Structure 1
């Protein structure tokens, strides 16, 4: 546990005879998804974590303390960096996702279109909203990253999960306090800068937040600009460019050496069925037919 969460942790089972432990985890230097199961009654303590952690107890009894707050793990909760944590739990099944603090700030900066204010990290759980969205985000990340190695090893898909996680945390927990920012003005030049950045970095794990930063606007400003210019979202435009990349790979691939699923994941498409539908709409045939040519 200490190695997994990169901090010193104490875990005590009471009584020891009832202790059981199972874990599944996918981790890199920025994002980690874990599914934890504990049998028996246990308690754990940590002085602090270096990352943001959001967790949800989907089964069992769970009571947590985060800084000066305490609560029931059946409602998703956030552990900010450098905040003391302890928990008491019985027959626990826990979903948890952690995100490197520097990555969180970088993605948030792209969403806001400016440097974020100093984040509020005390008493953020008591004022949290949209608990069901947080719970669904954790469920979705577990069901994709932990269940499918092809998805877990795709840099593009991991970047998408990171962006989704930051957006969920920032809109559900009052980290920004009463902050309101001035939206950067968008223009056709903004769209041109955004498209140039997308095309140059299409095979890299960029997000719409990264595109907005490169274009000199906020995510909201970028969305409005693309709606005016192309009647589509910047996410849809980036997906179209990546679909072109997948088409080129399918055309060039040896059918015996590569699969549609592998190519789809490389270009950021987590769901093969959805990818096949979008591909067929764009190119008039299923991707499997292109691969067999």
Structure 2
């Protein structure tokens, strides 16, 4: 274990000692049972980005009370059962279930015999993710259970990666960039899984401004790569805030709206340049598709016809009966492009061993978005 990672270990047979153990990592907390006796084992790993406490405890009606949580807390039950009560909500947690205790919330976790992990996320990684100052983190938590089993499983896997690999390997933990990126990934999953937003971004009164700025940034980069975090920065919100504004007002994710804008521009280009020798491959590459077949699929899904059908309609020619879809047409266009520009389809370029392979930056998400 790396020396800079603080490791705290506690054993307790009464609630006073168990309370001391929990206060060492949570600040304010209290452990109680009906009899006052408890069998409590706790190991806490304390890092500046996250604290992970593994707790195994048995007792007659154990209650862990957290008044006004100073950090964002996630409970992962590994064995046994527990009940989480907070903010007027109550959920029962079985093995591998997750529960959330929001920042500033009063919460109580109840169980009789269970093994669980408690993840405490301070404001710093949340502020980095939300793109706000640390003092401006004001989370709204609409739920205390994950919104999907897939995200819950992703959390469990990432938590295992953090505790076993990042915290367990000195060479990995010593790399600040790797360690902080793993913590940020875990934090991002929590934000998405529990649908967290910053309160300043939760209201819809700024949606119009956010969307106008975002779409303007998208339109300025239709023919070049841009990531969702860059769009969010231009709009003056976090990635999550950008997502929520688009979903509330347009019922579509920002990345999909960007694709729609690029397809609109591609369709206009096909119509405007149909009679000047422009190929489908030319248009596809211009708007970020290295794979013309994928461009054709997205185009057909959006407009109900293949790009080749649009070209033939504008040119007044008949669409070949042998090409019901556009994959064959796309390949033919690529051949024409090769003849004009060289085998790679790029002016002056040759296809040689080791040559760079173009990337579909219009067809893929360049960043992990909630």
TM-score relative to the length of structure 2: 0.47
**2:200 is equivalent to residue 166 of structure 1:** no
Matches within 5 A, 1:116-195: 119-121=139-141, 123-125=142-144, 128-129=147-148, 130-176=151-197, 182=211, 183=214, 184-185=217-218, 187=221
Secondary structure of the equivalent of 1:19? strand
Correspondence for 2:126 among 96, 104, 112: 104
**What residue in structure 2 maps to residue 85 of structure 1?**
107
1:173 Cα deviation after fit: 1.3
1:68 Cα deviation after fit: 1.1
Contact 2:40/2:55 (CA < 8 Å) preserved in 1? no
**CA displacement, residues 8-51 of structure 1 (integer Å, 9 cap, x when unaligned):** 111124445541312131321x3222322223342111111122
Secondary structure of the equivalent of 1:163? helix
- Gaps spanning 5+ residues in structure 1: where? 111-115, 195-207, 239-293
**What residue in structure 1 maps to residue 270 of structure 2?**
none
* Structure with the larger RCO, 1 or 2 (CA within 8 Å, 6+ apart): 1
Contact 2:125/2:184 (CA < 8 Å) preserved in 1? no
Contact 1:25/1:33 (CA < 8 Å) preserved in 2? yes
**2:71 is equivalent to residue 51 of structure 1:** yes
> Number of residue pairs matched?
214
Secondary structure of the equivalent of 1:49? coil
Correspondence for 1:231 among 359, 363, 369: 359
- CA 1:108–1:232: 2 relative to 1, 3 Å: farther
Secondary structure of the equivalent of 1:57? strand
Contact 2:84/2:93 (CA < 8 Å) preserved in 1? yes
CA distance in 2, matches of 1:169, 1:53: 10
CA distance in 2, matches of 1:217, 1:82: 23
1:58 Cα deviation after fit: 0.9
CA distance in 2, matches of 1:166, 1:189: 32
- CA 1:99–1:15: 2 relative to 1, 3 Å: same
Contact 1:34/1:142 (CA < 8 Å) preserved in 2? no
1:86 Cα deviation after fit: 0.7
Larger radius of gyration: 2
TM-score relative to the length of structure 1: 0.57
- Gaps spanning 5+ residues in structure 2: where? 1-21, 240-253, 260-286, 291-356
CA distance in 1, matches of 2:64, 2:100: 16
CA distance in 1, matches of 2:53, 2:36: 23
**What residue in structure 1 maps to residue 88 of structure 2?**
68
